[in-house]
Amino acid sequence: MTSNRKAQKAARVRRLAKKKMAKKRATKPTKAEKYAAKNREALEKAARSGKPAKPAAPAKAGAPAAKAAAPKAATRAAKGAAPQAPAPAAPKPRSSRSITPAKRPDDAPRPVPVTTGPLIGAHVSAAGGTPETPIRAADIGARCFQLFTKQGNRWADREVTADEAAAFRAALAEFPSAAVVAHDSYLINLASPDEELRDRSIASFVGEMERAEALGLLGVVSHPGNYMDDRASGLARNADGIAEALEYVQGNAKLFLETTAGSGTALGATFEEIAAIIARLPASVQGRVGVCLDTCHAYSAGYDLVNDYDGVWARFDDVIGRERLGVLHLNDSKTPFGSRKDRHEQIGDGTLGDAPFRRIMTDPRLALVPKILETPKGDDLVTFDRRALAKLRAWAGEG
Ligand SMILES: [Zn+2]
Ligand SMILES: [Zn+2]
């Protein structure tokens, strides 16, 4: 046991040394990393959510250009292809990306923060820096929000400076939020069998936790990784990577493991897998780990929130335990029940429809859980979110 711990520590030191090396290296993801990110449907999500996040670099000169002209087919290929397959052409950026305003217009009226009512909010853009986020949350009527503390699909790591932390806290004092969480980078795959990618992922995840700590966030929402080879080994690698990072970054920021839709080799689509990851963590870090349930992912993964709302939560309570539920992602779905796809839709406009969200908004067991939209934003970044939050608020009886 002791020698085992020593070996673990040696491995950690080696990995964290690599973190520094990784910083010096080119920050562009390698082909394999880009592939891994695509396999997790990450870039698409980033583009859809209107973040400054940049889709994978377009194929370099000499790469087959024809593929780039067929983004849908390329995206499908990325999801269906075997892990060993060469990276297909990058998906075409969504049009909303190019018109994402970098900053809130200076003449926009100063928002009045919402400080009562249901604990609802949305993922907001951190364009211009993290101190810009509290006002954006206030602007849409959010009481809680989620942000990226760095670009979600680039390895480039960064540290939160004392000035940034102070500015963020000042902004938050001006526009208070009941809960703020970060979402980790989509490139991170703690479950990868590729040692280099996993080392890089651990280092990057350490950075996520450090930034959350520096900003005083509630925690970091993180998707379990892709196992690539076999599921059990992937779960073990995922849990051990989390343990390593949380042991390294001591503090108050939590990790919220997000339930996934289960596309490809994604782990975490079942409550059992989430529970298995948590169960493997050492007791010393287990208390800092919670769960984020995403309604779109759960429905796609086969949890029928529409026809068996109470049954799904009974299952959650049995397998994971309600006390672990720290965050809810409220997303409707563009795809049918059990599709194993991750395509967010406006609340009420998708295959889930109004009913499960009405239930969630009036469920006293969920009253204290921050509920965060990750639905498509539209061009101005505020209209759709304002509308959705108003709808949820009305359903909660606050409207
Ligand atoms: Zn989510
Ligand atoms: Zn999703």
Would you list the DSSP string of 358-377? HHHHH-GGGTTS-EEE----
pLDDT in tens, 152-175: 889 999 999 999 999 999 999 999
Residue 125: the pLDDT is 96
Q: Is residue 47 part of a domain?
A: no
User: Separation of 42 CA from ligand 2 center, angstroms?
Assistant: 8
Distance from residue 41's CA to the centre of ligand 2 (Å): 8
Q: Which ligand is nearest to the CA of 258?
A: 1
Domain contains 177: yes
What 65-71 contacts at long range (C-beta under 8 Å, 24+ apart), as own/partner pairs, is 68/92
- 321, two tokens: 């335990």
| CATH number where 199 lies | 3.20.20.150
Residue type, 25: R
Provide the pLDDT for residue 31. 58
Ligand nearest to the CA of 376: 2
Amino acid at 310: D
The ligand placed nearest to the CA atom of residue 183 is 1
Distance 267 CA to ligand 2 centre (A): 13
Any idea which ligand is nearest the CA of 48?
2
CA 351–ligand 1 middle distance (angstroms): 16
In a domain, 48, yes or no: no
- Please check whether residue 79 lies inside any domain of the structure: no
Ligand 1 geometric centre to CA of 10 (Å) = 34
Q: Give the Å distance between the CA of 1 and the centre of ligand 2.
A: 39
Coil, strand or helix at 344: strand
Residue 90 lies in a domain: no
Query: Which of helix, strand or coil describes residue 37?
Result: helix
Q: What is the pLDDT of residue 59?
A: 35
Cα–Cα distance for residue pair 148/51, rounded to 1 Å:
9
Residue 377 CA to ligand 1 centre (angstroms): 14
Which residues in the chain show pLDDT less than 50?
1, 24-26, 41-102, 399
Distance 47 CA to ligand 1 centre (A): 14
Q: What is the count of structural domains for the chain?
A: 1
Ligand with the closest atom to the CA of 297 = 2
Length of the chain as a residue count: 399
pLDDT for position 87: 36
CA of 188 relative to ligand 1 center, distance in Å: 15
Q: Residue 166 Cα, ligand 2 centroid: separation in angstroms?
A: 31
Q: What is the pLDDT of residue 88?
A: 39
Query: 291 - beta bridge partners?
Result: 257, 325
Q: Ligand 2 center to residue 258 CA distance, Å?
A: 9
Ligand nearest to the CA of 333: 2
**Ion ligand 1: residues, CB < 5 A:** 294, 329, 374
Q: Which ligand is nearest to the CA of 299?
A: 2
Decide: 186 and 42 in contact? Cβ < 8 Å. Answer: yes
Q: 3 C-alpha to center of ligand 2: Å?
A: 41
State the ligand closest to the CA atom of 257: 1
- Compute, in angstroms, the gap from residue 221 CA to the centroid of ligand 1: 8
CA of 222 to the centre of ligand 2 (A): 11
Q: Looking at the chain, list the stretches that DSSP marks H as alpha helix, in order from N- to C-terminal side.
A: 2-24, 31-39, 42-48, 65-68, 71-80, 95-98, 133-139, 162-174, 195-215, 231-248, 271-280, 283-286, 295-300, 309-319, 354-362, 383-395
Instruction: Calculate how far, in angstroms, residue 329's C-alpha sits from the geometric centre of ligand 1.
Output: 5
Q: How far is the CA of 163 from the centre of ligand 2 (A)?
A: 32
- Extract the tokens encoding 35: 């592939």
Ligand 2 center–CA 140 separation, angstroms: 21
Alpha-carbon span 33 to 203, nearest angstrom: 14
344 CA from centroid of ligand 2 (Å) = 6
Q: Which domain holds residue 162?
A: 101-395
* ∠ CA 159-218-375, rounded to 5°: 90
Per-residue pLDDT reduced to its tens digit, 350-367:
999 999 999 999 999 999
225 is a domain residue: yes
The identity of residue 213, as a single letter, is E
Strand partners, 385: none
Which secondary-structure segment (H or E) carries 255?
A: strand 254-258
- Ligand sitting nearest the alpha carbon of 40: 2
The answer to the question of residue 155 being in a domain is yes
User: Which ligand number lies closest to the CA of residue 374?
Assistant: 1
Q: Is residue 178 part of a domain?
A: yes
The ligand placed nearest to the CA atom of residue 122 is: 1
**Res 108: pLDDT:** 82
Measured in Å, residue 333 CA sits from the centre of ligand 2 at 9
